[in-house]
A and B are shown apart, each in its own frame.
Chain A
């Protein structure tokens, strides 16, 4: 059981990562003109041995500032969409370098922490930072800019830390994003959703950044279209930014996959809600998303090919040496793909996309369109809009799937694409319809979609094999390509009957938005 969320001072800041050179360039940046003051900040982060504070999303730190010690408690942020984090933060002066929970006078914080006996607290990691801060007036807001240069230290492990923090002291978030976007045009910046505490915790555990799956969208059932859009798009953007560390440093291919899924979700959400958002708002955003998605395509294709296409054939025929040759070629292809994806994600476009998207969501860009009858939708209940969107997408699937059992492959592709669109609509809107009917419909949808998905894998395999075969000079490679192609062509025959049965089951599932 958890206590109610406390009402606490909230910190709104945009955090961007850079490197030593980037930081040096930033300290001379004309945008950041102004008196800066430099301080050394040495912080130690504490937790119980069983990491109860981390488990509750609480960080506890004691920071030495000059001769003073300040104890700070922060709660987990509400997402990191577009680099923006909003967290509750409390501070108390303490007598020494050790934390002292008895000074906490705010009962909501005590309830959050629960009972922690003083001797349970131990230092887990620390940060040593040289922080140069200045306060700017920018676009009507007061913003504190902090350039952090230092390291995270956990036992014998250390990791450099170079960050820019833009904290909103007064005014709107709008100028906060404007400033970040302006800086990103001239400097090497990237989005790192992890707090210093999260990085320290990972360093202390020696764990690489993990891929993150999408979190469920908390849509209250009476949410308006306006608020619903902000929640849905924010959820997709967070899904994207949270996977960036895993793509950059992690070794799990799931990281790239999730980042790509997140991009696709973003694009699909824009597409689904296009009638209310307005085409003019959508096009520039979609363009950016597509460019990034394309850069990640080969990495993902190579992963699927090696794990799902080549894998089963190689396992079934361990003696077949030609498959090893093909595997080698595919691995080289995968390495290239990963290099391309990482480059795109480290480049300025990726940061620009996240910041512009975050900015647009924070501003509620869909509210900026000229008046039209559709704009009135924004203040109506999301569920009314969802009813219509879901119905429209279901109709498209049923229309394309007419006479399903006898449809040729290319017509089934059309069905697959319509299904995918329906799937996204259901993904985004299902939280509005919490009922067993929703779950049941979703189950049938997913089953059918996964079977139809093999169609796509098949097409991709053909393309991948063509690519890997090259000029067809290598006889071994050619043999391997033939084996893999044959294997999966045969599997498709088998799948066809199952797909027909799933189609029938899906058609008879009751649409959950019909009450």
Chain B
């Protein structure tokens, strides 16, 4: 089993969008997939409830009260972390994870807060010892904007790089409302947008 944790202290940066999309990508690839929601807002669980029956199956786990046991017979476990979380709990989750995905919005991102968050994760033992990888995702990127370039150079200064860049698109809000993902669609438009995810999926799969 490969455990993927999606985390960032900031709300609205795309954690749930990324967690649900990754889960759907794995499930569509035929892998036994579980999605664990640790956020009291339960948005990942809500998404699963809205998910059409005929779409690839994902097992939902409510971890909002306490962190549960890793599910049995599961190939990929995706954990959606809440914005505000106690350090000790974040650390527990990171210890359980093989890779931590950190979404960052170039438009509204707060350099000081992101730097603090990255520094804190980098200091954790499993990450320091490179047992757990960190992949940063630039989310809602508009190509060739100054904000995007600034984000990249800022991350490089922190010793990190952007593993994937997800374009801004209204389709994400629609999909969220339907309990679906780009990977459940067969349209050309969806396929084109889904390509943004390839480097992230490759980075996750390499961490095995």
Closest residue of chain B to A102, judged by CB? Answer: B30
Q: Does A38 contact B (CB under 8 A)?
A: no
Q: Does A119 contact B (CB under 8 A)?
A: yes
Q: Does B67 contact A (CB under 8 A)?
A: no
A2 CA / B2 CA spacing, docked (Å): 8
Closest residue of chain A to B195, judged by CB? Answer: A119
Segment at the A interface, from B9-17, B87-95, B199-207: B199-207
Q: Does A104 contact B (CB under 8 A)?
A: yes
Do A50 and B206 touch (CB < 8 A)?
yes
Q: Does A48 contact B (CB under 8 A)?
A: yes
Q: Give chain B interface residues in 24-47, CB to chain A under 8 Å.
A: 25-26, 29-32
Closest residue of chain B to A52, judged by CB? Answer: B205
Do B1 and A115 touch (CB < 8 A)?
no
Q: Does A114 contact B (CB under 8 A)?
A: yes
Do B31 and A48 touch (CB < 8 A)?
no
A1 CA / B31 CA spacing, docked (Å): 14
A110 CA / B2 CA spacing, docked (Å): 14
Q: Does B80 contact A (CB under 8 A)?
A: no
Do B198 and A119 touch (CB < 8 A)?
yes
Contact of A115 among B26, B98, B195 (CB under 8 A): B26
Given contacts A110-B31, A115-B25, A115-B29, contact A52 B202 (CB under 8 A): yes
Do B29 and A110 touch (CB < 8 A)?
yes
Q: Does B55 contact A (CB under 8 A)?
A: no
Chain B residues with Cβ below 8 Å from A120 are 198, 202
A117 CA / B206 CA spacing, docked (Å): 13
Chain A residues with Cβ below 8 Å from B25 are 115
Do B31 and A111 touch (CB < 8 A)?
yes
Given contacts A1-B208, A114-B205, A117-B201, contact A104 B30 (CB under 8 A): yes
Do B198 and A107 touch (CB < 8 A)?
no
Q: Give chain A interface residues in 58-115, CB to chain B under 8 Å.
A: 101-102, 104, 107, 110-111, 114-115
Do A3 and B198 touch (CB < 8 A)?
no
Chain A residues with Cβ below 8 Å from B76 are 115
* 11 interchain pairs, CB-CB under 8 A: A1-B208, A56-B208, A101-B29, A102-B30, A107-B30, A107-B32, A110-B30, A111-B75, A115-B29, A115-B204, A116-B29
The secondary structure that dominates the A interface is loop
Closest 9 CB pairs of A and B: A115-B29, A110-B30, A114-B205, A111-B75, A117-B198, A1-B1, A115-B26, A50-B202, A52-B205
A48 CA / B208 CA spacing, docked (Å): 15
Contact of B98 among A1, A49, A102, A107 (CB under 8 A): A1
Q: Mark A151-172, 1 if CB is under 8 A from B, else 0.
A: 0000000000000000000000
Contact of B75 among A3, A49, A119 (CB under 8 A): A3
A116 CA / B75 CA spacing, docked (Å): 14
A208 CA / B86 CA spacing, docked (Å): 52
Chain A residues with Cβ below 8 Å from B204 are 115
A426 CA / B198 CA spacing, docked (Å): 48
Do A115 and B205 touch (CB < 8 A)?
yes
Q: How many residues of A contact B (CB 8 A)?
A: 21
List 16 other contacts, CB 8 Å, given A111-B31, A114-B29, A115-B76.
A2-B208, A48-B202, A50-B202, A52-B205, A56-B208, A104-B30, A110-B29, A115-B29, A115-B201, A115-B204, A115-B205, A116-B205, A117-B201, A119-B195, A119-B198, A120-B198
Chain B residues with Cβ below 8 Å from A107 are 30, 32
Chain B residues with Cβ below 8 Å from A50 are 202, 206
Closest residue of chain A to B30, judged by CB? Answer: A110
A505 CA / B76 CA spacing, docked (Å): 49
Chain A residues with Cβ below 8 Å from B208 are 1-2, 56, 114
Chain A residues with Cβ below 8 Å from B195 are 119
Given contacts A2-B208, A3-B75, A50-B206, contact A115 B31 (CB under 8 A): yes
Q: Give chain B interface residues in 60-93, CB to chain A under 8 Å.
A: 75-76
Chain B residues with Cβ below 8 Å from A111 are 31-32, 75
Task: Looking at the assembled complex, report how far the CB atom of A105 sits from the nearest CB atom of chain B, in whole angstroms.
Answer: 9
Q: Mark B184-197, 1 if CB is under 8 A from A, else 0.
A: 00000000000100
Task: Looking at the assembled complex, report how far the CB atom of B21 sits from the nearest CB atom of chain A, in whole angstroms.
Answer: 12
Chain A residues with Cβ below 8 Å from B98 are 1
Chain B residues with Cβ below 8 Å from A114 are 2, 29, 31, 75, 205, 208
Chain B residues with Cβ below 8 Å from A115 are 25-26, 29, 31, 76, 201, 204-205
Chain B residues with Cβ below 8 Å from A56 are 208
Chain A residues with Cβ below 8 Å from B30 are 102, 104, 107, 110
Task: Looking at the assembled complex, report how far the CB atom of B134 sits from the nearest CB atom of chain A, in whole angstroms.
Answer: 17
A382 CA / B186 CA spacing, docked (Å): 58
A390 CA / B1 CA spacing, docked (Å): 40
Task: Looking at the assembled complex, report how far the CB atom of B57 sits from the nearest CB atom of chain A, in whole angstroms.
Answer: 13
Chain A residues with Cβ below 8 Å from B206 are 50, 52, 55
Chain A residues with Cβ below 8 Å from B32 are 107, 111
Chain A residues with Cβ below 8 Å from B198 are 117, 119-120
Given contacts A110-B31, A114-B208, contact A1 B202 (CB under 8 A): no
Chain B residues with Cβ below 8 Å from A110 are 29-31, 75
Do B201 and A1 touch (CB < 8 A)?
no
Instruction: Name the residue in B26, B205, B206, B208 with the highest tally of chain A Cβ atoms < 10 Å from its Cβ.
Output: B205
Closest residue of chain B to A3, judged by CB? Answer: B75
A119 CA / B206 CA spacing, docked (Å): 17
Closest residue of chain A to B183, judged by CB? Answer: A117
A110 CA / B76 CA spacing, docked (Å): 12
Closest residue of chain A to B27, judged by CB? Answer: A115
A264 CA / B49 CA spacing, docked (Å): 64
Chain B residues with Cβ below 8 Å from A1 are 1-2, 98, 208
Chain A residues with Cβ below 8 Å from B205 are 52, 114-116
Chain A residues with Cβ below 8 Å from B29 are 101, 110, 114-116
